[in-house]
Structure 1
Amino acid sequence: MLQIRDVDCYYGEAQVLKSFSLAAEPGEILCLLGRNGAGKTTALKAIMGLVPARRGSILLDGAELTALAPHDVPRQGIGYVPQGRRLFSDATVMENLKVGLMTRQSGPEVLAHVLDLFPLLKERLTQRAGTMSGGEQQMLAMARALCINPRLLLLDEPTEGLMPAMIDRIRQSVLDLKAHGVTTLLVEQRVDAVLPVADRVAFVENGRVTGVEPAAELAADRRLIDRYVGI
């Protein structure tokens, strides 16, 4: 599915990813866990072409992504929900969704499926995105990404700042996507936020993946978490 091999990324002359390597399997929920500044968000941006890789390879089902312009990456079937959501706040819910639909010319059946996953949005199609609550905006950001009918979904801190009830909704949405075969790469800082949904957890430190462990084993033995991040 997704193969990241020995990727180096920089902001100016400051190197952020250092021989970053990771693999995600079809239908897997893989979490990137680490402290602020570890390189988690940069890894997602590298996949999307927003931070170019100076070295290494990023493959989706064998197709090289690093040679593509950023606007061509979503057309390969990659949905991205960045931290902060980045919605068109003055546009309606439906207008935001149409942006996703146009990316890969998705049909009405895709929209219907997305609205089944997020039924609350059916009632808000004419509402301006900027007037919605934080949790509702997060749902819309995920729905817009799903409107491209992705094979791979990248989520950057999707539960940040949300109430517990909305966090549960987001978690359930991720599990629903897994049931439909979507691979999810999930960035988080909080262990307890990811263990209930993740299949595996990749620990990121100083721009490198320092270990990958099954989430079930981490939940059973928290000493493994201490070994990687000292939480």
Structure 2
Amino acid sequence: MLELSNLNVAYGRAQVLRDLSLTVASGEILCLLGRNGAGKTTTMKAIMGLLPLMSGRIALDGQAVSDLPPHRVPRTGIGYIPQGRGLFAELTVAQNLEIGLMVRKSGPEVLEGVLELFPRLRERFRQRAETLSGGEQQMLATARALCLEPEVLLLDEPTEGLQPSMIELIRQVIVVMRDRGVAVLLVEQRVDAVLAVADRVAFIENGRNLETLDAAALRADHDILQRHLGV
């Protein structure tokens, strides 16, 4: 289980997160919803140690990770697919995946399992990442995160700019990870995509928790979305 307890985070003098608390259980998809600037991406970066905490605690299965330097956070089992994907553009698909495998010293059987989820990457194995389409780059970023055999998977707007077939593939992989017991924290602007995969939805505004609801409640009552998001 991933636990965020009373996180306070700032960019310089501008505080973005204010006593934000969330939990994501193993085998659960929790989606973060909020207007632009609500603090969703900041939450992801704080978990990965890319932004320092003013106060608060981040723990995985009860063990604190909030004091770790960023390069050690993935070794605890937290995989991150950021906006922009963060690929090594001049490296090949194979080399990008090898970097993911190195994080926790995963073996070739892990790579084979990842390529079964993304067979197109097998076809592109020797191509440089910069030559891939946008959808293929999103596949590669996701596959690289899966190479470290994550216990927690963070995805920041993974379907942005993708065609419907790619969106469906990413959705299927997210569900597979959930079914394998991975805790998934998803930032997504597409409400339809959220309602298709989420178990629970957490609304945040101005860096604060508003409420967390079962996704079934949102599917049954769209007035909740109107109240929080204006959609």
Please classify the TM superposition score into its range, dividing by the shorter chain length. Answer: over 0.9
SS of 1:8's partner is strand
Look up the match of 1:130. Answer: 130
Take 2:58 and 2:88, find their aligned partners in 1: how far apart are those partners? 29
Take 2:209 and 2:160, find their aligned partners in 1: how far apart are those partners? 23
Task: Please state if 1:204 is matched with 2:225.
Answer: no
Deviations 1:141-163 (A, max 9, x none): 00000101100000000000011
Take 2:207 and 2:189, find their aligned partners in 1: how far apart are those partners? 15
Look up the match of 1:179. Answer: 179
Look up the match of 1:24. Answer: 24
Query: Contact 1:36 / 1:189 at 8 angstroms: preserved in 2?
Result: no
- The TM-score, its normalising length taken from structure 1, stands at 0.98
Question: Number of paired residues?
Answer: 231
Look up the match of 2:4. Answer: 4
Query: Contact 1:7 / 1:57 at 8 angstroms: preserved in 2?
Result: yes
Q: Which amino acid aligns with 1:79?
A: G
Query: Contact 1:156 / 1:188 at 8 angstroms: preserved in 2?
Result: yes
SS of 2:98's partner is helix
SS of 1:211's partner is strand
Shift, 1:10, TM fit? 0.5
Query: Contact 1:92 / 1:129 at 8 angstroms: preserved in 2?
Result: yes
**Range moving further from structure 2, 221-230 or 126-135:** 221-230
SS of 1:181's partner is coil
Look up the match of 2:39. Answer: 39
Q: Which amino acid aligns with 2:72?
A: D
Shift, 1:227, TM fit? 2.5
Shift, 1:228, TM fit? 2.1
Query: Contact 1:101 / 1:147 at 8 angstroms: preserved in 2?
Result: yes
Structural RMSD (CA): 0.8
Structure 1 unmatched runs, 5+: none
Query: Contact 1:34 / 1:188 at 8 angstroms: preserved in 2?
Result: no
Q: Which amino acid aligns with 2:143?
A: A
Query: Contact 1:3 / 1:22 at 8 angstroms: preserved in 2?
Result: yes
Query: Contact 1:211 / 1:228 at 8 angstroms: preserved in 2?
Result: no
Look up the match of 1:61. Answer: 61
Take 1:214 and 1:119, find their aligned partners in 2: how far apart are those partners? 33
Aligned counterparts, 1:98-109, within 5 A = 98-109=98-109
Look up the match of 1:93. Answer: 93
Deviations 1:87-114 (A, max 9, x none): 0111100000001000110111111111
Query: Contact 1:29 / 1:184 at 8 angstroms: preserved in 2?
Result: yes
Take 2:9 and 2:193, find their aligned partners in 1: how far apart are those partners? 27
Take 1:230 and 1:209, find their aligned partners in 2: how far apart are those partners? 17
Query: Contact 1:88 / 1:96 at 8 angstroms: preserved in 2?
Result: yes
Take 1:163 and 1:229, find their aligned partners in 2: how far apart are those partners? 24
Take 1:139 and 1:190, find their aligned partners in 2: how far apart are those partners? 18
Q: Which amino acid aligns with 2:76?
A: Q
Take 1:99 and 1:123, find their aligned partners in 2: how far apart are those partners? 19
